[in-house]
């Protein structure tokens, strides 16, 4: 099933051209980043799982999709954010169920493992899995078998598995919240993505691409002043590429709203200031306090995204804790995060 002959030439050298990936977001000017992508290409067709680590917003999903593309697998790329899923929901979503397996299970249903047959199953936020979930995935990876809910007969997993996390799994192991045997089984091929602040040569090309695509959707043509690049390079991007994309979109929107055709340093500084202000004003207020808003109010969706991002940061990216801190159930927060990822694709 996993044929890697198309990835190497007669001399055994990897054929993958990192300068021409399917996703332009993987086109990097940083040699360290290109080396990471070359490594991904070299293991893309192997049957072993791949573990992708990196901060929130560094593009783990994009890299996973690129690995699937160059693997040549004929099946689909199927993704699931497992963070915050309880034991039954995780099992039902991944493995499916038989009729009558639980209350409300009126019909038999296949899970995502079955949907990903001959393709790639991408499991994100594995650092948020509880002990029961880790055991289930360990068995899936180790034995390539699983049991649908309500069934005593194992089914074979024909999917290649890629896993991802924005947490330090070694630290979680030391804290006894992540199984070491699970980590050792999934980390044979581990990929550590760099944060955007460590990729300065990529900031301007990525911003330009994001801004250009946003302008095209609005049906406008905008220019970028060269002097506007300085504040972009000085910013730290705690939200990484995801935050850069949002900044670019807001710059385009703001430029249109004031009736000009050039993104100036002043516009970029104003947008960056609103991001700094949003994060600074996310500290929870006491009941007798009033939240201080920045002078320029961002869109409601931006506030919600910022609130969720901050809640995840404060909780160490633990969905259950983050959800409780902002009055959501883990399932509701998981659904919001999944919708956000879908919108970013």
pLDDT band, residue 9 (cuts 50/70/90):
very low
Q: What pLDDT does residue 36 have?
A: 94
- Please check the confidence at residue 153 and state whether its pLDDT lies above 50: yes
Domains and CATH numbers, the chain: 5-194 (3.40.50.300), 197-344 (1.10.8.60)
- pLDDT score at 282: 42
CB atoms within 10 A of CB 65: 19
At a CB cut-off of 8 Å and minimum separation 6, what does 308 contact? 322, 326, 333, 336, 337, 340
For residue 134, what are the contacts with CB-CB under 8 A and spacing of at least 6? Answer: 126, 178, 179, 182
Q: How much of the chain, in percent, has pLDDT values that exceed 70?
A: 83
Q: List Cα–Cα distances, 6 to 34, 41, 73, 219, in angstroms.
A: 20, 11, 12, 40
Task: Give pLDDT tens digits for 96-108.
Answer: 887 766 666 667 7
Q: Is the C-alpha dihedral spanning 233, 235, 241, 244 positive or negative?
A: negative
DSSP per residue over 228-283, as a string?
Answer: GHHHHHH---TTHHHHHHHHHHHHHHHHHHTT-SEE-HHHHHHHHHHHHHHHHTTS
- Nearest by Cα to 197 from 165, 233, 164: 233
- Listed in sequence order, the DSSP H helices in 12-59 are 31-43
Cβ–Cβ under 8 Å, residues 189 and 49:
yes
Pairing relation of β-strands 155-156 and 145-146?
antiparallel
């Amino acid at each position: 099933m996993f044929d890697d002959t198309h990835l190497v030439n007669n001399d055994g050298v990897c054929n993958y051209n990192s300068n021409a990936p399917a996703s332009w977001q993987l086109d990097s000017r940083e040699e360290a980043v290109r080396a990471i992508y070359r490594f991904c290409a070299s293991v893309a067709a192997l049957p072993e799982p791949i573990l992708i680590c990196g901060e929130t917003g560094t593009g783990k999903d994009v890299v996973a999709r690129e690995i699937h593309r160059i693997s040549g697998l004929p099946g689909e790329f199927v993704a699931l954010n497992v963070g915050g899923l309880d034991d039954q929901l995780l099992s039902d979503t991944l493995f499916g169920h038989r009729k009558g397996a639980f209350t409300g299970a009126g019909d038999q249903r296949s899970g995502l493992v079955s949907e990903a047959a001959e393709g790639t199953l991408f499991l994100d936020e594995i650092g948020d899995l509880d002990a029961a979930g880790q055991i289930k995935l360990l068995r899936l990876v180790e034995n390539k078998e699983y049991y649908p809910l309500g069934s005593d007969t194992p089914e074979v997993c024909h999917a290649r598995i890629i896993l991802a996390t924005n947490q330090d799994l070694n630290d979680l192991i030391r804290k006894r919240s992540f199984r070491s045997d699970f980590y050792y089984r999934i980390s044979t091929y581990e990929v550590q993505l760099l944060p955007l602040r460590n990729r300065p040569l990529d900031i301007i090309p990525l911003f330009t691409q994001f801004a250009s695509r946003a302008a095209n959707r609005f049906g406008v043509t905008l220019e970028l002043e060269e002097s506007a690049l300085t504040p972009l390079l000085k910013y730290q991007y705690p939200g990484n590429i995801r935050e850069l994309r949002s900044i670019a979109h807001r710059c385009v929107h703001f430029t249109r709203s004031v009736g000009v055709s050039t993104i100036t340093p002043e516009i970029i500084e104003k947008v960056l200031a609103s991001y700094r202000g949003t994060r600074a004003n996310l500290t929870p207020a006491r009941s007798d306090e009033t939240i201080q808003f920045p002078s320029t109010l961002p869109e409601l969706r931006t506030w919600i995204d910022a609130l969720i991002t901050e809640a995840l940061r404060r909780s160490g990216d633990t969905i259950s804790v983050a959800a409780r801190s902002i009055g959501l159930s883990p399932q509701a927060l998981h659904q919001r995060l999944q919708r956000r990822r879908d919108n970013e694709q």
